[in-house]
Every structure is written in C-alpha cells, then in structure tokens.
A and B are shown apart, each in its own frame.
Chain A
C-alpha cells in the first residue's frame, strides 16, 4: 500500500503542477513510513516540503495554499497528532465554501496513518474518523487495499473540496496486490463488495476488512455464509450498497477499531434501521473498540476487534 500511495502522489504531482506535498519529515527522510520516498528528488524543494513541527500550521497554511490556487497534500505524521489540525479543519477548511457562498473553495488533502496493530508508542494507534466524518464539508476515505488507496487518493487530490485520507498503518505493507500503473480514480461513495454471502453482512473499512474476511473464511468452514462490504468511503457513505446487502442477508455486523460510542458504526446502524427495517432478522450488531483510551501495546490485542470477536458477534446475530 505504501508503494501505491507513493505512486498516486507522484502521478498527481506529475499531472498537476499545483499539487504540493508538505509535512514533517516528508522530504529528505521520505516520511517516517517512507510513503513520500523519492518525491523530493523528483519534484524538488518547492513541491515537497519539510515543514516545522506544527500540525496546526501545516493544516492552516494548507488552507491558505488551497484557497489561493494550490493543491496541497498535507501529511500528519500520526493519527494522534491530527487533533491539533482539527480546529482549522472544522472552523475553516470544511466551511470556507459555505461561508463565502462559493467564492472560495479549499481543495486540500490531509493524509495520515491510522489505527493500531503495530505495537506503536502511545498516541500512535488512534482511529479518529468520527471527528472528521462528523464535520460537514469534509470527505473521508479509508482504503483497505493498495489499488483502492491509489484510486481514492487520486480522487481526493482532484476533488474541489477538502478530503481526509486515512491510511491503515498495519496493512501498509501487509496487504499486497498488483496495482494498475495507469493514473485512475475511484469515486467517493462507492462501497466494494469484498466477498459475497447469504446469511450475514459484515461491514468494515481499512484494516478491519481483512479481519472480517478471515472471520468469514472461518465461518464458511462452519457453514455460515458472510458477505463482506468494504465501505472505503466513510463519507459520503454508499447507503445503497449497505441497504441492498442487508435486504439480501437480513443480518448485519459492523466492525471498527474506534470506540463504540458514536463510532461510524452507530451511523451505519441508524441508516440501516431507517432504510431496511423490515428486512432485518436480528438487531444490527457491532464489534468495535471499547469506550476506553487506546491502550499501550501490551493490551492492544485485547482492545482491537479480532477474528474471534467478529465470529462471536456473527454468532450472536445469527442466534438471535
């Protein structure tokens, strides 16, 4: 996935001279995960910029850059440090179009590695998607495969409005596939059916898709057929795909790493009951992080949803 994101950055920069990349350690070091490796050499210091250590500055300056004709791609080094940029995103990036009645727009992308699973230090394993999804005016995506990462990032860069691009760090190198070398985009708001099934729909994004697929494989051996839907685009959400799958299976489990309360799962559950109430055979289940601070790594495994918990959740839904 690192390579695919790197390729998308390179292609978008090649295609559009307004695109610049800025953040901490993105230049000389190529990013702490090497996602921006080689870009400085290729595009030079004016377009690949090592900034001072200042998340608010990075996001705030990107807003000005974007409003005045540039296409900044801001990297925030880790999920836990995006919060300092939230003020700028919520108060400004997301609503400059509204406030100026369309006179100004803010085509910026904020990318950051997200989620747990790599035994990282404190504040390096957060799943902050709800804060962004809850902010009107932002688009939010979180891919689960290299191919999706490439196409979704291209869409973010080309979009006229601010986009949040979340990169599940535990599958940066763990999920591999051949990726189309051409420049392409994947539209927002289109979920991906990862696996067809009859009995239960598993809904997830990012690193949890892989866990769902593993759980589905295990359940298949035990004769429960799971459909796995990767929503990819957290906002806008592909409500149709969700509803259609629910109509088919009648049972749903939403899986995410973020804490349960007001995690995106809550919104998905609400949408399902609005649009597919009569198709439901059981209450929609959730397997999520707990309503606790993301722990240090010795308890990380205990916090993160895993195959066992997903299987257990499916069983509960099925037994209802």
Chain B
C-alpha cells in the first residue's frame, strides 16, 4: 500500500534589501524618510554603545558584557514596530532593541555594571528584565500575551532569543502553548550561527529553525536578519496576525554575531577569521546606508553627524552611570517580598546595625580586636571561658 502524504510544508525565506543595497520594490515596505533615518540612528547608537561597553569592561568599569554587533537590524527592525504597551522579553544581547524601547543607556550600563536598578523598566514601557538563563524568558512572553487577551487588550508580546535557545524545553513548551491557545506572541529567534562556541549545526539537525513552527501548528518564516527591511516586513505581518487573534509566529532571523560571545570569550578559538570577514561584508549598518543613499537620505555629513551625536549620548550615559551612588545594602533585602517576613527583617536589621549607619557598600564592619584573657589559658574542656578585652558585650554584637 503506497504511503499517502500526512502533511507537507515549506519554509519561506524573505530578503527585501540585498547585500548590494538593491531593494525588491514589490516587497519594500512604505516607511517615511524620517522613520528610516531614525532606524539608522538607533543602529548607530547601539553600535557606538556596544564599542564603549566593551571598552568599559576592559577597564573594569562594568562587568561581563554581551555584544550586539552584527544583529542591530534584527532588533531595531522588530522593536520599532511595537507600542509601549506591547511586551518585550529580551535575552541578554538585546541592547539595540532595548534602546528602541526607551531604555536609558545609563540603565544598560547599570545592569551590566552589576546593579539591579538597571532592570527597572522605563515608565510606561513594558520591558521585562534581561534573561540570562537561555530560553527561560520564552514561556513568560506567552503568559504575558495570554494575559493581554484575557484582559481584552490588543497588545502582544515579542520575545528575543538565540539559536541555542531553541534546544531547550522552555522554547518548545512555549511554542506549544502558544499554538494550542492561539496566543498573540511573536517569537523572534536571532540565529547568529553560534551558541558561544557551539555552531548552529549542533543545536538542531533541522535545515532551518523556522520550521520548528510547523510542529507546533504555528506560522514560521526565515528572514535575512542583516536586512532591516525583511525583519520589519515579517514582524509587521506577524503583528497583524497576532492583533487579529490569528495566533503566534516564529521568525528566524538569519544573522551573525560579529563580536565575541561576551567580553569573557575569545571567538578565535572556534571560528576562522575568513568566516568573520565574509559576514562583515553583510554588515546590516553598511547595507542600510546604501538603502538610505538610494533614497537620497544619506551623506557623509549626515553619517558623521549621527556618529557624533551617538558618541555624545554614550559619553553622557557613562558619566551618568558613574555618578550613580552605589546601591544601598538594604536593597539586598528590600525586594524579597512585598512584606518582609520576620526572618528576613531580622537579618536586614542585624546586618545594617553591623555596618553601622553607613548604608552603602563596600561593607567593612568595624571589629574591635579580640584579646584572649588569662581565663582561657587553662583550656580544659567543659570549663573554658574565653574572655575578650576591649570589645562590646555579647548582646550588643550583631548576629550575622
């Protein structure tokens, strides 16, 4: 008995603007010149910020930092389409998207500089904090979008993640929920070809990541992630679908991480210079400049003006960041719960007593020298007494 076909599928690939800057006019979205310039300026700002952040890490002024270089078009081309009340769930490489989403550069520096205040979203903008555990944020996006529907809002979620993230259960379980419940969510995968050193081929035997949508009964598409216009068009379509109640979309942005994985990584250990050089030719910024030029929106003067403005903004942000006072030690405790329980309250109170009135780090509790008195010289078990001279009484000593 011959087999019948149970299902068949095709994965579409979208490119609007090619590497030479030529645009497919049938696919070209209608965007005003002002908007196009804004997109470009965001990408430049993200790149300037990125370079600065790496330099700051090298100087010990922030901690480990994950570079967005090469992926600016994926992020700007998608985030630019959302309303403030749509939800955005970043992974950890989404600085460009977060810039579009009104995050002060100072906050980005605070977060990577080891300060939770960097995760406070801009007022009235629904940005979730950075998700370091890979893939863990994807189900949250489903839940938040689900709540939008339950609360009769037209808002949606957009969640960013990488190729590596598609290997985790969180990703699969999220897509499955979204399919079953037709949730208004956009899954935006930035396939930058690597998860640290592990190449895309080690994440999945599937030919594309976009086709994973098929298994969950949702829409999926692969787009050129270095082509801002392709990202824009695919996200616009996904948004319309989501807002019309027609369910989720998985968008695989085919792109490349031009920098190291993070400032702790050395990508030379696992990929060749020539591979990187090939991808540099596809730089999303250079390509967008060609497009702007074809629209007569670009000139050398404009380019340097944009660059200078970006540098000034970044420099100012660094100054702001570095003048933020260190976090209060009490903040270690303050947000554990709406109402601290007796145990945490006690730990907090005792600790703050110990550090004195000075509620800031670095913490160096003042310790009076301990001097063992003569009583202890007979060190017989059961009888010993250690006396301490020059120190306070026991009940005044904080319990750490």
B388 touches which of A247, A303, A318 (Cβ 8 Å): A318
Contact B198–A54 (Cβ < 8 Å): no
B400 touches which of A247, A296, A313 (Cβ 8 Å): A313
Contact B382–A250 (Cβ < 8 Å): yes
Q: Which residue of B lies closest to A286 (CB)?
A: B400
Q: Is the CB of B18 closer than 8 A to any CB of chain A?
A: no
**A60 to B: closest C-beta gap in Å:** 10
B379 touches which of A198, A298, A301, A313 (Cβ 8 Å): A198
B197, B384, B397 — most chain A CB neighbours (10 Å): B197
Contact A80–B168 (Cβ < 8 Å): no
Contact A319–B397 (Cβ < 8 Å): yes
CA distance A303 to B332 in the complex (A): 8
Q: Is the CB of B2 closer than 8 A to any CB of chain A?
A: no
Task: Give the A interface residue count (CB, 8 A).
Answer: 65
Q: Is the CB of B195 closer than 8 A to any CB of chain A?
A: yes
On whether A222 and B198 interact (CB within 8 A), knowing A80-B132, A315-B388, the answer reads no
Contact B130–A122 (Cβ < 8 Å): yes
Q: Is the CB of A271 closer than 8 A to any CB of chain B?
A: no
A84, A123, A305 — most chain B CB neighbours (10 Å): A84
CA distance A80 to B134 in the complex (A): 11
Q: Is the CB of A277 closer than 8 A to any CB of chain B?
A: no
Q: Is the CB of A16 closer than 8 A to any CB of chain B?
A: no
Q: Is the CB of A97 closer than 8 A to any CB of chain B?
A: no
Could you say which of A25-33, A63-71, A102-110, A179-187 contacts chain B? A25-33
Q: Which residues of A contact B388 (CB under 8 A)?
A: 315, 318-319
Q: Can you report 10 A-B residue pairs in the complex whose CB atoms are below 8 A from each other? A: A25-B197, A28-B197, A222-B371, A297-B63, A300-B114, A301-B362, A302-B362, A308-B363, A312-B398, A315-B397
B361 touches which of A261, A302, A313 (Cβ 8 Å): A302
B351 touches which of A30, A123, A225, A290 (Cβ 8 Å): A290
On whether A57 and B63 interact (CB within 8 A), knowing A122-B132, A292-B336, A312-B354, the answer reads no
On whether A81 and B133 interact (CB within 8 A), knowing A295-B116, A296-B115, the answer reads yes
CA distance A122 to B133 in the complex (A): 9
Beta-carbon contacts under 8 Å, A93-146 to B = 119-124
**A173 to B: closest C-beta gap in Å:** 14
Q: Which residue of A lies closest to B262 (CB)?
A: A121
Q: Which residue of B lies closest to A56 (CB)?
A: B169
Contact B134–A53 (Cβ < 8 Å): yes
CA distance A56 to B134 in the complex (A): 12
Contact A199–B344 (Cβ < 8 Å): no
A296 touches which of B116, B164, B351, B398 (Cβ 8 Å): B116
Contact B168–A54 (Cβ < 8 Å): yes
CA distance A43 to B269 in the complex (A): 19
A53, A55, A80 — most chain B CB neighbours (10 Å): A53
